[in-house]
Structure 1
Amino acid sequence: MGNFKVKIRKNPRYVIAENCTGCGECRDVCPIEFPNQWDMNMGVRKAISVPFDQAVPLVYTINLDYCIECYKCVDACGARQAINFDQKPEEIELEVGTIITATGFDIYLPYNSSLYGYGRYDNVITALELERLILAAGPTRGKVVRASDGKMPHSVVLIQCVGSRDVNKYEYCSGFCCMYALKHAVQLKEKYGDDVEVYILYIDIRTHFKGYEEFYRRARDLGINFIRGKASQIMEDPKTKNLIIRAEDMTLGEPIELEAELVVLSTAAIPSKGTEEMARILNVTRGADGFFMESHPKLKPIDTATDGVFLAGACQGPKDIPYSVSQGSGAAARAATILSQPTWKIEPLIAVVDPNKCRNTKVKCGICEKSCPYGAIKAPEGQPAQVTTAMCHGCGTCVAECPSDAITQMHFTDAQIFAQIRAALEENPEDKILGFFCNWCSYAGADLAGTSRFEYPPTLRAIRVMCSGRVDRDFVLEAFRLGTGMVLVAGCHLPYDCHYISGNVKMKARMEALAKMFEKLGLSPERFRIEYVSAAEGVKFADLIREMTQQMETLGKEKIKAENEKLRPTLERMLSKKK
């Protein structure tokens, strides 16, 4: 936990921060202007400027890509001598206890979309561009004007879900687009009143936080037109530069056509540039959407797979300002909790490598390194795998994946689990269901079934492991070798409920391959089950055991024994190869 060694590259400002007073005299004399990224390139900035007006600290920076080195800023600065063109990039090395990742998000710009005409039609803009136009500090000092003629638009259409909720682009909802579209619509009506007609073309309006529904009602009361439908085509009138939007009104069930002087696109929020590289550096996983993945969506929404690294804001997924602020506060609190402790305790369930058995010393293997969701294992070529104890969470997935049995897990060793299997199946094994359950979900579901007094037959013999990813195929082979009636392997629900990120996914792949092998060997498919049970599903667990017991009785002892006898020689050969 912690003890991160961080190397930071500090780029030069070419301004000495301690000497700069933020007076702006250097900016006033600078002759060079270039597009202002802060204003979505609709305004200009000088070659020496602050990133934005509210920047803290208020220190000017020179952009050497545009600076012509006329030195007028040096003369304007005078005795303060804050300008220094000799500054070089610096590298700062720090040792820190925790890291909070707050890298934000980027906005999808649909330049390549033939549907919306963005970048092709002057009067099609994004919601973020409208935001800069409306603001008093923006490039037009709060006047909403069209790029084509500089005139105020009298009809505005806001189109929702551009790029998001789209199977061809980004399937997820960007979350905050509905509310900022409502905000912009209200601002336009309050600013220009009846001089502007505002339409919102939407799939769904999602107003799910405190006060949002009331704001939606306020927008409707102002006379804003809401049309449930999706744009199918946007065309431009070459004379007026007005836009013609063709869409389907889903309420009326018929196509419609709108003419607007300005079209505003609510575009998808996407992972910020560099997210992939940052994930690699921090050893943090990413979801299918490309955003950073939290350790657990309900129990650890701020933590990551790397202990001591926390998430804040939209780097984890699209979210609005209140949600980002609360998550930032939570991340700071989690970091403070760790930093307040002189030492940090971990569970003694770590994986241990036997270097004499590790085949990575002879041939390139590294299976354990690839299977560890926490990056706790390194397998340098020609050397035995090494486990970083402080990073190991004790899921045991690497133990089950190791082809040479060179890894074991403290307190859940192969010897201990094999002993439990043999004890459970010592008498009348053909009458028993042997279950392997993960500690956090399926075993807790079994506990709930018991404490809730949900009745099920006494045929089950349960073996607890920390994660279903720990269930080795040899455990299942041994159970059938000993003549068990059925085997049940149960884990957390797919895909995101696993307390160890991906243990249930690894188990699924391993056990499904084993099930195919059993089918080829003639084992009745109902005798080997892979299920997913949460801690709250006591009823499901009890129903599952009743169902399996009924199936076992239907098969009958004689058939079970016959299948076991047929399988035993093959299973013994397979198990003997591992010894």
Structure 2
Amino acid sequence: MGAKDVLVIGGGIAGVQAALDLADQGIKVYLVEKGPSIGGRMIQLQKVFPTMDCPSCIFTPKMVAASNHPDITLLAYSEVSEIKREGNLFLVTLYKKARYVDEDRCVGCGICENNCPVDVPSEYDNGLGARKAIYIPFAQAVPKVATVDLDHCVLCGVCERVCPAKAVNFAQKPETINLEVGAIIVATGFNLYDPSKLEQYGGGKFANVIPSLTMERLLIPNGPYGAVVRPSDGKIPRRVAYLLCVGSRSRNPINGYPYCSRVCCMYTIRQAQSTILNLRKVEVDVYYMDIRAYGKGFEEFYRRAEGVGVRFWKGRVGRITEQENGNLLLRAEIIDGSDSRIVEQEYEMVVLALGIRPQHRALAKLLPELELDDYGFVKTAAPKLDPTTTNVPGVFVAGVAEGPKDIVDTVMQASAAAMRASAYITNL
């Protein structure tokens, strides 16, 4: 440990890419992830736009490479609890939470999980499916080690008795790990806007008004249900509406934030196409303010969606009301050229394309001198010329921690942050 080492905070695609780029240069990297496995949001997705490739096929090899790299120390299920500056060094204290499972013994066989009697809503499936009180988050988890959720565990001891490796250990204690590093890369990712704030759309109360990440899990063939069904009754929907800019581009602070979240248009167009391709006999409508298809191949992807039958309506949905049968009545103002009209349409399911919010408020307490913008994203020295350097020497940022962006831009910024961190520690 020392001035030539780097701490990467966050195990999503940005953090993993930055860690690999640094480690391939022979730099020692500590990759910290607060969850039981690295993977972040990308590993939850059905496909990526505009290529419709499988995210797991792209990302899983990188996750495995990071866990096996001799110059990367993977510290999953750990959080940064303190950062102090001492000369050219950052003195970092990590809190490694107790899994109550010996990581060296566990082989990820899943026998403990299969025998656990307790069901808990699955975070990986956005609350749709169930996991157990002792669980591996998903099939491709890295590290593939079980974790006991002591908040839901009933201490029946079944997992301890059936584990063939004798890895379950309820006497395990949390650990404190002290590190000395020369640079830090912040890659803490994002949260989605909270739909419960939007009373006009049901405020999270209507079962068949679902957030975009929930639809993501429904569209995956090996997802919680194995099919696209609406949550209230398991019925296959035949009319689905997507609402864009939910929580984004709003001048009214009650309804969200004024910035564009950049990815909502394209992930919605991808989901709308997938809905038609999965269900076939379905009508899919997208309500939008304007489509921002700015990247390579994005405009063609948008036009292709129109070709497969996705209908686009320029306008804003003002209100959603729930019918007795669980269907949803949308009241919207539709703009057609210089004219506008009020329409009401009934759908069996509505998907809210939620905007992006930062999730590193806790990090601001650890690095109080780190400048954030008005919305909580990390500020950079020169967004156009130096988009990874922060106001704190030795601290760099990558991915959505700096601002909304897609996976391609996230990977590029992660590699740029790795190079800037490499150059910085070289000159210490």
Establish whether TM, by shorter chain, passes 0.5: yes
Q: Find the counterpart in structure 2 of residue 144 from structure 1.
A: 228
Whichever residue aligns with residue 307 of structure 1, its letter is: P
Whichever residue aligns with residue 337 of structure 1, its letter is: A
Runs of 4+ with >3 A deviation? none
| Offset, 1:148 | 1.6
Whichever residue aligns with residue 174 of structure 1, its letter is: S
Whichever residue aligns with residue 110 of structure 1, its letter is: P
Asked if 1:87 is matched to 2:172, the reply is: yes
Residues 316-355 of structure 1 show CA distances to partners (whole Å, capped at 9, x for unaligned) of 111111111111111112112223x2x43xxxxxxxxxxx
Q: Find the counterpart in structure 1 of residue 260 from structure 2.
A: 173
Asked if 1:32 is matched to 2:86, the reply is: no
Counterparts of 1:51 and 1:313 in 2: how far apart (Å)? Answer: 23
| Offset, 1:2 | 4.2
Asked if 1:259 is matched to 2:343, the reply is: no
Counterparts of 1:96 and 1:61 in 2: how far apart (Å)? Answer: 28
- Give structure 2 stretches of 5+ with no counterpart: 1-86
Q: How does 1:6-85 map to 2 (within 5 A)?
A: 6-78=92-164, 80-85=165-170
Q: Find the counterpart in structure 2 of residue 156 from structure 1.
A: 240
Q: How does 1:321-360 map to 2 (within 5 A)?
A: 321-339=407-425, 341=426, 343-344=427-428
Q: Is the contact between residue 124 and residue 265 of structure 1 (CA under 8 Å) also seen in structure 2?
A: yes
Of residues 276-285 and 246-255 in structure 1, the stretch that sits farther from structure 2 once superposed is 276-285
Q: Is the contact between residue 279 and residue 292 of structure 1 (CA under 8 Å) also seen in structure 2?
A: no
Q: Find the counterpart in structure 2 of residue 135 from structure 1.
A: 220
Residues 423-448 of structure 1 show CA distances to partners (whole Å, capped at 9, x for unaligned) of xxxxxxxxxxxxxxxxxxxxxxxxxx
Whichever residue aligns with residue 100 of structure 1, its letter is: I
Counterparts of 1:22 and 1:314 in 2: how far apart (Å)? Answer: 31
Whichever residue aligns with residue 28 of structure 1, its letter is: N
Q: Find the counterpart in structure 1 of residue 288 from structure 2.
A: 202
- Give structure 1 stretches of 5+ with no counterpart: 345-579
Q: Is the contact between residue 15 and residue 82 of structure 1 (CA under 8 Å) also seen in structure 2?
A: yes
Q: How does 1:50-449 map to 2 (within 5 A)?
A: 50-78=136-164, 80-141=165-226, 143-168=227-252, 169-193=256-280, 195-238=281-324, 240-251=325-336, 252-272=339-359, 275-282=360-367, 283-339=369-425, 341=426, 343-344=427-428
Q: Secondary structure in 2 aligned to 1:157? A: strand
Counterparts of 1:318 and 1:292 in 2: how far apart (Å)? Answer: 11
Q: Secondary structure in 2 aligned to 1:149? A: coil
Q: TM-score, normalised by structure 2?
A: 0.77
Q: Secondary structure in 2 aligned to 1:97? A: strand
Q: Secondary structure in 1 aligned to 2:278? A: helix
Q: Could you say which structure has the higher strand fraction? A: 2
Q: How does 1:496-515 map to 2 (within 5 A)?
A: none
Counterparts of 1:225 and 1:49 in 2: how far apart (Å)? Answer: 41
Whichever residue aligns with residue 386 of structure 2, its letter is: K
How large is the Cα RMSD of the aligned pairs? 1.2
Asked if 1:5 is matched to 2:91, the reply is: yes
Counterparts of 2:89 and 2:277 in 1: how far apart (Å)? Answer: 53
Q: Could you say which structure has the higher helix fraction? A: 1
Q: Find the counterpart in structure 2 of residue 524 from structure 1.
A: none
Counterparts of 1:217 and 1:249 in 2: how far apart (Å)? Answer: 20
Q: Is the contact between residue 158 and residue 265 of structure 1 (CA under 8 Å) also seen in structure 2?
A: yes
Counterparts of 2:195 and 2:352 in 1: how far apart (Å)? Answer: 9
Counterparts of 2:279 and 2:203 in 1: how far apart (Å)? Answer: 25
Counterparts of 2:223 and 2:278 in 1: how far apart (Å)? Answer: 15
Q: How does 1:556-571 map to 2 (within 5 A)?
A: none
The share of aligned pairs that are identical, in percent, is 44
Q: Secondary structure in 2 aligned to 1:250? A: strand
What number of residue pairs does the alignment pair up?
336
Q: Secondary structure in 2 aligned to 1:296? A: coil
| Offset, 1:11 | 0.4
Counterparts of 2:393 and 2:138 in 1: how far apart (Å)? Answer: 35
Larger Rg: 1
Q: Is the contact between residue 2 and residue 307 of structure 1 (CA under 8 Å) also seen in structure 2?
A: no
| Offset, 1:138 | 1.5
Q: Is the contact between residue 247 and residue 255 of structure 1 (CA under 8 Å) also seen in structure 2?
A: yes
Q: How does 1:529-548 map to 2 (within 5 A)?
A: none
Q: Is the contact between residue 118 and residue 125 of structure 1 (CA under 8 Å) also seen in structure 2?
A: no
